Chain A
């Protein structure tokens, strides 16, 4: 799979796999939201161990956020744009490598520390499920290949902004062009292909918590009131359901500090 020789394989990996993975990923998200909101959680283990977590989790998550930001910039912003705003190719490359290595190092160190913690502390270990192990392996390979790709590209030999980046933009406009990927360095090929598995896995793993950033929190009234109304219509699949804990249409009103009043928060 490293040097994708036949164009059939290349079409499968670069034209079909992305859409399969995205369909599974997006479909899975919808399915989870419809059927298993209870399992939709970050499943924090801070209660069980907090000393290693303190730096490892922060390092890892901030590193990941920076890395995602870097990917988005690198892929979505065309070379012509950065050139037009006066950022030379060389300057861009220095920025990308320095930023990439910093973020990557944070992710690698954070991830390693989190894995160490998970193995080392029995309390954390018992909360680890089989799906977690799969997730960690896939995530680990994605991180390692991404880091390696960044390091290999220090001499600016890959020119991914002329190949990988347009390839991704083509995917998003539903017009994939496998040829763009064919001449690229093998580790880039591997990384690009492999992460689709991560996306497909996403909604079925603990990573799903990334889709619940509580951005509305600062805007919400501090005290939330909900009426005890009928729950979501019973599907019948699981029998009773739990209307008491999950009023699905929370008509949320505020009581304090702004006094009581109308609904101010959707769900």
Chain B
């Protein structure tokens, strides 16, 4: 047993309203630079739909993730190192920019600078890459809320795996919002695909990063990730990806996308992983066993043996406490209501999803509403508008059972708590029927329905004694290069500053502006104002001892 801590996230799809706030805040923080205009570390897709980049789930086409070879050994679907080195001059599996979209802005200036005329001036869409006019026919969330679904959603690769009846029932439309970030996989295909060894998992928290100084533009990580969550910055020629907002995580703060989530549906926590068994877990023969194999890797933080080994492996004690209170562990393993996205890619993803409940099409409707206790309450789950088979092909490698179990428990929680909240006679049988204890349903209710800030985010801080350079790292945004932050001149040699035809549409500072910006940042801020007050809800006790924050 080798214990490592791993940060994870759970998103409760039941609560996502598809507002894209998460995407926008993430973009404003991380990818509003030249070369990353088309990049969304966080994006929210409407399912059914083709996704971003288009049809990314179609691994027959893109060859992302892992597969088992004939002897049952785990290998990258796109081929191992030798195969990669042989195709280093042309990566056959790399999506072209148009598979994402050609990023654009509008020629706003025309609106005010046009001379008087009989016609209204028009702001035409202009490519942010070339500055040329564009005919828009694809873009981010082009298929939002099922727009054009007859044309697009029918191509959703997830329909391929489920029975014909669901496909035909498509007229009775249903949809799910699926917010996606990098999964910070335990067995990341992107890392294994990088010829330079520039991609790595952090030992402390499993966050997957790209070493910008070691990346050499080979771009196999982009195609290797089955979720297409590594992006190619065409301006710098380097790969970039969601970094789990590690500077915030290290400070005990939730990620930007979580913090700003309007539905408050994201939960963050630490799980303990037995990394000795990762290969075995990712290599189980049947795709449908991958979920159990992955859950099996997640060690019980309350088991004294695990704790002892974890301490021996250098995990700080407060991290173990955080692991005990981890919402991710509770929702994924204890209650089994959260499921991984496409476990069949064998990357052991660490962003989990609680499947959404949806209106029941026929018989069961009143059963849930009235808190009925009929036997067929569980049969009703199969009548939900979002077909279980569809959810299963996204969240459970096509196996409906884990999805059914999760939905059953979510329904049981509602039925049980309804009695509690209305002062009716509480029926523990509701819990036991769903294979849980009544107190577990109550805990689950606190986590899922109330979702207090401190329950949703259990993030242990980084240990300063382990990384003594925290002071110098202060103020670094993590992307200290090109026009990301104040390091003028770096990268200038290869001239990674392609001119921006529409500079300013998205902040894209030339090195000159960077200096200016740096100067601006020097101006003393209002001493009373501490941005953390806005960001973190702290316990009163902590706020009282304010002086600790230097």
Write the residues of chain A forming the contact surface with B, with a CB cutoff of 8 angstroms. 32, 36-50, 53-54, 57-58, 60-62, 122-123, 125-127, 129-132, 204-206, 208-209, 212, 214, 216-218, 220, 222-231, 234, 238-247, 250, 252-253, 255-260, 265, 267
13 A-B interface contacts by CB (under 8 A): A38-B212, A38-B482, A39-B492, A39-B493, A53-B90, A58-B89, A126-B131, A243-B476, A244-B473, A244-B478, A255-B4, A256-B187, A256-B278
A256 B213 Cβ-Cβ under 8 A: no
As a 0/1 sequence over residues 228 to 250 of chain B, the CB contacts with chain A under 8 angstroms (1 = contact) are: 00001011111000000011000
A245 B467 Cβ-Cβ under 8 A: no
* B498 proximity list for chain A (CB < 8 A): 126-127, 129
**Contacts known (A214-B216, A243-B469); A39 close to B195, Cβ less than 8 A:** no
A47 B96 Cβ-Cβ under 8 A: yes
A44 B467 Cβ-Cβ under 8 A: no
Closest-CB distance, B413 to chain A (whole angstroms) = 36
B212 A223 Cβ-Cβ under 8 A: no
Partner of A228, one of B192, B202, B278, B494: B202
Closest-CB distance, A34 to chain B (whole angstroms) = 11
Partner of B234, one of A40, A127, A214, A234: A127
CA distance A44 to B91 in the complex (A): 10
* B488 proximity list for chain A (CB < 8 A): 238
Closest-CB distance, A69 to chain B (whole angstroms) = 16
* A32 proximity list for chain B (CB < 8 A): 493
* B194 proximity list for chain A (CB < 8 A): 224
A48 B276 Cβ-Cβ under 8 A: no
Q: Size band of the B side of the interface?
A: 35 or more
A204 B493 Cβ-Cβ under 8 A: yes
* B276 proximity list for chain A (CB < 8 A): 259-260
* B275 proximity list for chain A (CB < 8 A): 255-256, 259-260
CA distance A220 to B191 in the complex (A): 11
Closest-CB distance, A183 to chain B (whole angstroms) = 39
Cβ of B282 < 8 Å from any Cβ of A?
Answer: yes
Q: Closest 8 A-B residue pairs measured CB to CB?
A: A129-B495, A43-B237, A214-B195, A222-B192, A257-B279, A242-B480, A37-B213, A42-B217
**Contacts known (A39-B490, A41-B238, A256-B275); A250 close to B200, Cβ less than 8 A:** yes
Cβ of B503 < 8 Å from any Cβ of A?
Answer: no
Cβ of B538 < 8 Å from any Cβ of A?
Answer: no
* A58 proximity list for chain B (CB < 8 A): 89-90
CA distance A25 to B111 in the complex (A): 52
As a 0/1 sequence over residues 395 to 428 of chain B, the CB contacts with chain A under 8 angstroms (1 = contact) are: 0000000000000000000000000000000000
* B202 proximity list for chain A (CB < 8 A): 225-228
CA distance A222 to B472 in the complex (A): 32
B234 A47 Cβ-Cβ under 8 A: yes
In B451-502, which residues have CB < 8 Å from any A CB? Answer: 462, 466-469, 472-473, 475-476, 478-482, 485-496, 498-499, 501
A47 B219 Cβ-Cβ under 8 A: yes
B85 A246 Cβ-Cβ under 8 A: no
Partner of A223, one of B95, B187, B238: B187
Partner of B216, one of A36, A57, A212, A230: A212
CA distance A245 to B533 in the complex (A): 28
B213 A245 Cβ-Cβ under 8 A: yes
- Chain A contact residues: over half helix, strand or loop, or mixed? loop
Closest-CB distance, A36 to chain B (whole angstroms) = 5
CA distance A259 to B92 in the complex (A): 31
Closest-CB distance, B453 to chain A (whole angstroms) = 26
B490 A38 Cβ-Cβ under 8 A: yes
A225 B203 Cβ-Cβ under 8 A: yes
* B236 proximity list for chain A (CB < 8 A): 38, 41, 43
CA distance A123 to B478 in the complex (A): 28
Known interface pairs A37-B213, A223-B278; 17 further A-B residue pairs with C-beta atoms within 8 A, sorted by A's residue number? A38-B212, A50-B90, A126-B498, A126-B501, A127-B234, A127-B235, A223-B187, A223-B192, A225-B4, A226-B203, A240-B473, A240-B476, A241-B476, A245-B210, A246-B214, A256-B275, A259-B276
Cβ of B201 < 8 Å from any Cβ of A?
Answer: yes
Partner of B466, one of A46, A131, A228, A243: A228
A234 B472 Cβ-Cβ under 8 A: yes
In B182-202, which residues have CB < 8 Å from any A CB? Answer: 187-188, 191-192, 194-197, 199-202
* B132 proximity list for chain A (CB < 8 A): 122
**Contacts known (A48-B97, A127-B498, A218-B85); A257 close to B234, Cβ less than 8 A:** no
In B94-142, which residues have CB < 8 Å from any A CB? Answer: 94-97, 129-132
CA distance A247 to B197 in the complex (A): 12
* B196 proximity list for chain A (CB < 8 A): 212, 214, 217
As a 0/1 sequence over residues 280 to 312 of chain B, the CB contacts with chain A under 8 angstroms (1 = contact) are: 001000000000000000000000000000000
* A230 proximity list for chain B (CB < 8 A): 467-469
Cβ of B367 < 8 Å from any Cβ of A?
Answer: no
Cβ of B74 < 8 Å from any Cβ of A?
Answer: yes
Partner of B282, one of A205, A243, A256: A256
Nearest residue (CB) in A for B1 is A260
B478 A242 Cβ-Cβ under 8 A: yes
Closest-CB distance, B227 to chain A (whole angstroms) = 17
CA distance A37 to B198 in the complex (A): 12
**Contacts known (A38-B212, A123-B129); A259 close to B279, Cβ less than 8 A:** yes
Cβ of B359 < 8 Å from any Cβ of A?
Answer: no
Closest-CB distance, A247 to chain B (whole angstroms) = 7
B84 A244 Cβ-Cβ under 8 A: no
CA distance A127 to B209 in the complex (A): 25
Nearest residue (CB) in B for A238 is B487
Closest-CB distance, A125 to chain B (whole angstroms) = 8
